[in-house]
Amino acid sequence: MELQPFPVASPLLRPARRSRTTALLFATMALVACGSAPERRPSARSAIEEPATPVDQDAAGRDALRAALASMFEGQPEDALRSLDQTSKYRHALDPELRGQLELAVGKANLAFARQRIASGNTGIVVNASYLDAEEAFRQAARALPTDAESLCLLSETQAEQNRFDDAVASATKAIERLGTDERPDRTAMANALVTRSKSRIYQLAEMRGDASEEPDEATLRFANEILTDLSQAKNLDPRATEPYELASTTHRWILRFEDAMRTLEDAVRAQPGHNAHHEALQGLYLGQKRGEALVGFYRKLVRETEPVSATTLWWLGKALYARAAEVRGTGDRRRADDLYRECEEAFARSSELEPSFHDSSTLYRALAAVSSARMALDEGDESTAVRELDRAYEITPRIADVDENGFDRWFDSFSKSYRGGIYAIGGLLVGGGQRLDEAVAYFRKITERHPDWGQAWNNLGLVARDFGVQREENGEADAAHKLYEESFAAYQKAAHLVPEDARIQNDTGLMLIYHLHKDHEYAITQFEKAIRIGTAQLEALPEDESDITKARRRDLEESIGDAWGNWGLALEQQQDYKGAIEKYRKSTEYYPGERRIGAKKVVELEGKIERDVRESRVAPRRSTTRPLTTLVASLAIMTGHAMANATIAVQDIDIKAALEALDQGDAEAALGIVERGIGKSTDAERWYCAGVGSLLFAKKQMANNGSGVEANLIDAIDRLKKAITIADGMKEPAKHLGNRIHTAPARFAIEAMNLKGEADAALELGKRQLSHLDSLGIEFDGKQLAALYGQIASAAVRVATTAYQNADEAAPKAAEDARAMYVRYEKACATLDAQTKAAMADDIFATARAAATLEEWAKRGVAALRLWDRAAALLPADRVGAIAGELSGIASRTSSAETASTILESWMRDGKGDAATLAWYVGYVKILRGHEFRAGGENEKAVKAYDDARKDFRTAMTKNSGFTANSKYMIGMAHAAEGAALKSAEKSEDAIASWMEAVKTDPRVALQPDALGQTAQGGVMLEVDALYQGGKLDEAAKLAERYLAALGSDDKNILNNIGFFWREFAGRQSGTARTKAYEASWNAYKRAAALASDDPRVLNDTALIDIYYLKRYPKESEQLLRQAIKAGEAKMENDPPQDEREKNALEEAIGDAYMNLGVLFLDDEKRWDEAQEVLERSLDFYPPQRASARHLARLDAMRKKKGDGDKEGDGKK
């Protein structure tokens, strides 16, 4: 149940869409279909005798108005209408002012009557008629009172309530216009009129929006802004009005301006901190946007800035903290959530100190905060904290234990957890396995003393006192056991009185008398009869559906009824009424689990006894006359028979023992060879157990070897182990070889087989049934065996829950909760084991923890997954800590929970848990992740510090173990690279460049390795280079790129190509020596790039052209580069041509450029002009056909012509 300090109006959210003709259509249909006269209602227009004179009419009218107003004030609109009925005949003749006031009163009374009927759940003709009468009256009032706006506003409201929003807007607009004609209009009235119009216009806006998830169009935005303008004006006119804020926020939400909606409500809270509806709307909006942290920040600031702070503000701060704590709790971060719950309690406490009327709701929220802390503690197996917090919840207010009229808990926290539920959850942990029954008895003594009216608590006390008594009796402490049995019986009696409708409790009350106290058989039988009567009635009342809930309830009831019949049979057997006992035992087998009940064996046993007794009673005893020889032979025969029986038992013992030894050695074939012969009719639970485990081991072996027959062997294993479980359920004594393990081991391996077969649901169901059975036995089981069973059940529960999340099943959260409880039970059982046993179970503990942690990730509880591994580390040997640290870092990376992972790992380092170098390395790694988280949130300074701290940890790892040097240096480089990105985001470019340079100096492998945010050291530097280039600083761009390559310690083709380009472009802007030096720098850069790209025609060509066009120093080298470019390009076109058209064109262009530039080179040597012509013409065969080669050919022609003319001229001179 949700709490408030006092009633709070709900904010207007999404308007419901209803047909505007619905009301009238319904009224018409009702009139047609009505078989009797419609319900009468008061009318203000009845035929009443008219007063004789105008004076009398005015006086009567005023009296009627006063009476009507008084009735309205008292909430009696019917009486008001009766008073006004008297004026209907002469109202038209009255003074306009009085007539208008009477019509206004008629309208108000009809409107109030309609609202009253709707509020009580009544609709139909009467309501519709009242609305119509109200409309008519308001119109008459508006005519009689030409300057009054109230009647028009009320008319608008009446029309809006009938979903006639166009009419409602029109009426409100008339009211606004009417007020606007006054030179000094009533500010409050104008504000009310604007608000009234806005309400209807918001409904119109809702109609316009249609799919509210899409961005609004221009027309919609204009309409919304008109509403917001009205509401802004209304706030200015009447600062005390509350509705303008809420309506403005709603308008913003309809057009997806959630930030504006929140700001509006924040302004409302600041302006009117005592108005609860503002707080409720604000918190609903923030929390709906999953912004609980920001909400808490707002309220903390509001409390700091408000002097004096109001109790209401503090109350809502507490509410915000409570909601934020729930958000954090949902992620599994128990510690942060606990801190928020404590702060929440402080806020509520201060609130109730300032305003005593807030005490009830404040104390309940404080108690619920304590309940929440208790349930979080239980999720992690921290029972002592859970007990303390639940005790504290009750101390805060006993109302936390309230129940409703049906006996169900009244108060629940944000996760639907209650105080009483927590009490029973703790009790369940204490009872499980029978190892802590002394604690369980003490606990439920305390609970029953505190809550003497809790029937189930008394029932639990009866259960644990009984089981503890059994343990004490087995230890030879008969007197102590008897006292516990008496206490148990008394507790059961109390429970039976408080919960008379529970068949199980009635049965267990009688059970104590016949099993343990051995007295009052008649009273016991009365209890069994009562249990049967109650259970049978409830069984017959069950629905006929086959839902899981119904089937489970039917099974539980049948078990209870069958147990009562069986116990009745035992009571009669103890009284030696064997025929009556047989009847009751036979009756018990009619209920689940049928013939598997002990009653079936008892029937055979007692029938045999009766038959023997009858036979013995017919044979009179006589003196033996057998001769000695015959006697000797008979004796020998008897002895031989005994010997044979003993020999059979011995062989069977040897078979089982040998099979168990074979299973211990993992020899499935040997074990199966021993026990499978003749197993079909065996009633030996141990034999079935051996056969089942043998089949399971064989299936696992086949799985490991990818062999066949896996499923068939798993089926055999499950069937055989279930047979062992069924037989063991009826055993009163320990098994010969397995002892009490016969109650745990078969179930453990059956569940494992089911899990392997993919039947986790069935495995979990079997596990739950077996746990219930174990609890009923009252036996203290071996810790290792119990832990192994818990582990398999936990694995099944985790699989079920994980699958539910993967399938987006709405039952996933509940399944996950059950899985957590089972896993914690497993943890607690493992914690009781010695170090050697835990080490032997390390693989299973690790695997189960990993599966449980994966479930927490599916549940979006990353912090909970980390805390789970923290607890698991305490159960595992030190050599597993490194593997656990790897799991932690992976979770931190996937769930953005590096802060918690770092805290855990650092605590392990301080405690000396695991290898120091390994832990130091992982601490550094998660600090890098933490830096990434800071960067993603824009907290760059914190990110830089995190990266610096990480580098220190990696250096520590190297110092402690030189084997970590390579990996640590790599991670140090990554930390520098990420630091560069953070510095760049903080607009510290020079520092960022220095970090990136240091990154690649430390380890060149990090240059192109992206971090978690997709950024690299080389990418960062190149962005800076590009910024210089874009800014026209070509020489600085080239120098920065060269610095980077120097830091990297190796060349990069693309970077060198860019350096060559930058220097070439820079040279074009220089002159003289500077120009030459720039071209030389370009040539050198391109040369280095070409050395790395011997098969890249573009790089080879660009290198050569620097010398051909600018330096003109290395013609041979340039020719070689160009021929190499042509060869590589044409080989590529022939052997592996690009499929993409753009890539193909780029390759052709590079080849064509190489031919062209080779031609240009040859133009400088007259002897090679023919070659120049050939390659220039060849260049025109490549994309693009329009290239400079044509111009170069023309120049060649001109050169030849000039040379020809010169030769002729020379010949003439000769």
Q: Concatenated DSSP letters for 134-191?
A: HHHHHHHHHHH-TT--HHHHHHHHHHHHTT-HHHHHHHHHHHHHHHHTSSS--HHHHH
Q: Which helix (H) or strand (E) holds 942?
A: helix 940-960
Q: Which of 564, 648, 655, 578 is nearest to 609 (CA)?
A: 578
What type of residue is 30? A
How far is Cα of residue 294 from the mean position of the Cα atoms in its chain?
20
Q: Concatenated DSSP letters for 63-124?
A: HHHHHHHHHHHTT-HHHHHHHHHTTTTTGGGS-HHHHHHHHHHHHHHHHHHHHHHHHTT--S
Mean pLDDT per 10-residue section of the chain, whose length is 1214 residues: 40 30 30 33 46 72 94 94 90 91 96 93 89 96 94 96 96 95 89 96 93 88 96 95 95 95 96 94 94 96 93 97 97 95 98 96 98 96 96 98 94 96 93 88 98 97 95 94 97 96 96 95 96 96 86 91 96 95 96 86 91 75 38 30 37 75 94 89 92 95 90 95 91 89 96 97 95 83 94 98 97 96 94 96 98 97 96 96 97 96 97 95 98 95 98 98 97 98 97 98 97 96 96 96 97 96 96 96 97 95 96 96 97 95 96 97 95 96 92 94 75 48
Predicted pLDDT of residue 619: 58
Q: Concatenated DSSP letters for 714-755?
A: HHHHHHHHHHHHHHHHT-SS-BTTTBGGGGTHHHHHHHHHHH
242: which 2 tokens?
Answer: 């509350």
DSSP state of 1108: I
How far is Cα of residue 153 from the mean position of the Cα atoms in its chain?
48
Give residues with Cβ within 8 angstroms of 292, minimum separation 6: 286, 320, 323, 324, 326, 327, 328
φ, ψ of residue 409 to 5 degrees: the values are -55, 140
Helix ranges (H only) for 182-310 are 187-209, 218-237, 243-254, 258-271, 276-288, 292-305
Structure-derived torsion over alpha carbons of residues 3, 7, 13, 14, reported in degrees to the nearest 10: 90
Predicted pLDDT of residue 122: 84
Boundaries of every domain in the chain: 436-499, 501-614, 651-781
Q: Which of 150, 194, 188, 200 is nearest to 176 (CA)?
A: 194
Predicted pLDDT of residue 124: 83
Predicted pLDDT of residue 328: 96
Predicted pLDDT of residue 615: 83
Predicted pLDDT of residue 614: 84
How far is Cα of residue 1024 from the mean position of the Cα atoms in its chain?
42
Q: Which of 1186, 1162, 1191, 1188 is nearest to 1174 (CA)?
A: 1162
Model confidence, pTM? 0.77
CB hemisphere CA count around 593 (13 angstroms) = 10
Asked if the domains 436-499 and 651-781 are classified in one and the same CATH topology, the answer is yes
SS3 for 796-836 is: HHHHHHHHHHHCCCCCHHHHHHHHHHHHHHHHHHHHCCCHH
Give residues with Cβ within 8 angstroms of 283, minimum separation 6: 295, 316, 319, 320, 323
268: which 2 tokens?
Answer: 């409302």
DSSP state of 417: -
How far is Cα of residue 820 from the mean position of the Cα atoms in its chain?
14
403: which 2 tokens?
Answer: 């129940």
Predicted pLDDT of residue 1211: 55
Cα–Cα dist 516/437, whole Å: 17
Task: Please give the C-alpha separations between residue 147 and each of 141, 176, 195, 238, in angstroms, as whole numbers.
Answer: 11, 11, 19, 20
Predicted pLDDT of residue 30: 32
Looking up tokens 């074990």 gives 671
Q: Which helix (H) or strand (E) holds 443?
A: helix 437-450
Assess contact for 318 and 362: CB atoms under 8 A.
yes
Assess contact for 265 and 249: CB atoms under 8 A.
yes
φ, ψ of residue 49 to 5 degrees: the values are -60, 135
531: which 2 tokens?
Answer: 């249990």
Q: Concatenated DSSP letters for 626-686?
A: --HHHHHHHHHHHHHHHHHHHHHHHHHHHHHHHHHHHHHTT-HHHHHHHH-TTGGG---HH
Looking up tokens 């310690």 gives 1049
CA-based R_g, the chain, Å: 46
Strand partners, 768: none
Predicted pLDDT of residue 6: 39
Predicted pLDDT of residue 1208: 62
CATH for 501-614 (3.40.720, 3.40.50, 1.10.10, 1.25.40): 1.25.40
How far is Cα of residue 849 from the mean position of the Cα atoms in its chain?
19
Q: What is the pLDDT of residues 847-864, one digit of tens each?
A: 999 999 999 999 999 999
Cα–Cα dist 528/585, whole Å: 13
% the chain with pLDDT above 90? 82
End-to-end CA distance of the chain: 122
179: which 2 tokens?
Answer: 């007020």
Helix ranges (H only) for 986-1052 are 989-1002, 1017-1030, 1034-1048
CATH of domain 651-781: 1.25.40
634: which 2 tokens?
Answer: 């008979």
Q: Put residue 896 in one of left, alpha, beta given phi > 0 → left and psi -120 to 50 → alpha.
A: left
φ, ψ of residue 1141 to 5 degrees: the values are -60, -40
Cα–Cα dist 372/979, whole Å: 40
Cα–Cα dist 471/455, whole Å: 25
Cα–Cα dist 377/385, whole Å: 6
- 3-class SS at 409? strand
Cα–Cα dist 899/949, whole Å: 13
CATH for 436-499 (2.60.420, 2.40.50, 1.25.40, 1.20.950): 1.25.40
Looking up tokens 């008979």 gives 634
Assess contact for 1053 and 1093: CB atoms under 8 A.
yes
Q: Put residue 1187 in one of left, alpha, beta given phi > 0 → left and psi -120 to 50 → alpha.
A: beta
